[in-house]
Amino acid sequence: MAKENKLTDEDNALLSALGVEVEAKKSITHTKQEERIIAGFEEIQKFVEKHGRLPEHGEDKDIFERLYAVRLDQIIKIKNHKALLGDLDYQNILSRDYENVSSIPDNLSDDELLAKLGVDEEDDSITKLKYVKPRSVKRAVEEMANREVCQDFDEFKPLFDDVKNDIEIGYRNTIRFRKDAGFTKASLSEKQFVIIGGQIAYIAKIGEFFKAPNSEDDARLRVIYANGTESNILLRSLIRAMYKDETSRFISEPNLGPLFSGENSDDDLESGTVYVLRSLSDNPLVTENKNVIHKIGVTGQEVKNRISNAKNDPTYLMAEVEIVATYKLANINRMKLEKVIQKFLGNANLDIEVKDRFGKLVKVKEWFLVPIFIIDKMIDKIKDGTIGDFYYEPTTAELKRR
């Protein structure tokens, strides 16, 4: 073993007399976290040495390159990364510009990082991986490394709110799919809603199609999620992920089907009536807008029986009413239809309160500022199943296509 040479006091005195300053070398200590960052950066450097480029994300890359790419992203996000690693960076890795970094949380151990990437690992070292699931890796990397905050989510949030409400009232259905139903060959389309991983997702855009290695048509998607994130997952990857997730579902288009008919056939079972009423109240707001203020409801009994006690019922503004129009319906859920009508005319709902027989203020629902010809058109759209394609614009009193 080589003998360690140390300067004696006499040596130091002699060097001082010769004008030579002796500076004790300071030992640099790092925290465990800093040591881990340095070790991770050195592995990235080895990759750059071997391949002559930085590690990249992408489903065509192997798991090690993807892991190094994620690790480099996390290093870039550290405020003082250059101060810590600058002296080690002989390849100028840290001096390059980076526009986007992954959204995987910081401070993950290698095992946790591998778990986020969907890898089963049987050894402590990431360089000794014995078993990797290629398909799960592809899905996990797409979802974890490429999902990011949706900057224009405000434009999509109303769509998610509408879909959730549509599902609640039965205006849309969620459809489960199975392997024996041929889902692996299913296709998805733009502006379609699905449920994946317990979240509603919206396929905002489908890019140009290309041939995947297995000769299937594939494309890059822009998928917006209800939690305000988005991803550019591949079409086939999304389909495979949905098939793997037993809770995944399609969300149907809004379609009530043929609810009404002008005449009931012998086979039809009459379920109720949609009625339109006009109030005879002397309330100034009502009298001034008498021709456009209407109550719309659904009943399973005779309308005349329903309104027989109108003058004592705050639902009818504590006044007599007249029947303006009725529409018979067959084979329909009355509660569901009533919610559909209330939703469609929601932006024309009349905000009004009346006192009941005991002087208590009651907020009344189901009265709308809408002319009768609009109600007729709405019923026609419900009858032909296209009501979901339109909305009511109260400022111009017209139905407009979405």
Structure confidence by residue, pLDDT tens digits, 217-264: 889 999 999 888 899 988 888 888 888 777 888 888 765 544 544 444
pLDDT at 294: 95
pLDDT at 206: 93
Percent of the chain with pLDDT over 90: 20
pLDDT band at 186 (very low <50, low <70, confident <90, very high): low
Q: How far apart are CA 44 and CA 72, in angstroms?
A: 7
Alpha carbon distance 127, 111 (integer Å): 12
CA distance 304 to 394: 29
pLDDT band for position 337 (50/70/90)? confident
Tell me the residue type at 309: N
Give the pLDDT score at 204: 95
- Note the pLDDT tens digit of each residue in 196-222: 878 899 999 999 988 877 778 889 999
Residue 106 has pLDDT above 60, yes or no: no
Confidence category of residue 55, pLDDT binned at 50, 70, 90: confident
pLDDT at 162: 85
Token representation of residue 342 = 């209330």
pLDDT beyond 50 at 182: no
Report pLDDT digits (tens) over 76-101: 877 677 788 888 888 888 876 665 55
Here the tokens at position 287 are: 């009298």
**Per-residue pLDDT at 25 exceeds 60:** no
- Residue range 8-14: average pLDDT? 62
Please state, rounded to an integer, the average pLDDT across all residues of the chain: 76
Phi, psi of 347 (to 5 degrees): -80, 0
**pLDDT confidence of residue 207:** 92
**pLDDT higher than threshold 70 for residue 126:** no
Statement: residue 302 has pLDDT above 70: yes
**pLDDT, greater one: 395 or 172:** 395
**Residue located via tokens 């986007």:** 100
Residue 50 has pLDDT above 60, yes or no: yes
Going by C-alpha positions, the residue among 254, 383, 261 that lies closest to residue 330 is 261
What is the value of pTM for the model shown?
0.44
pLDDT of residue 373: 94
* Cα 186 to chain centroid, rounded: 21
Contact predicate 219/208, CB 8 Å: yes
What is the C-alpha to C-alpha distance for residues 71 and 68, in angstroms, rounded to an integer?
5
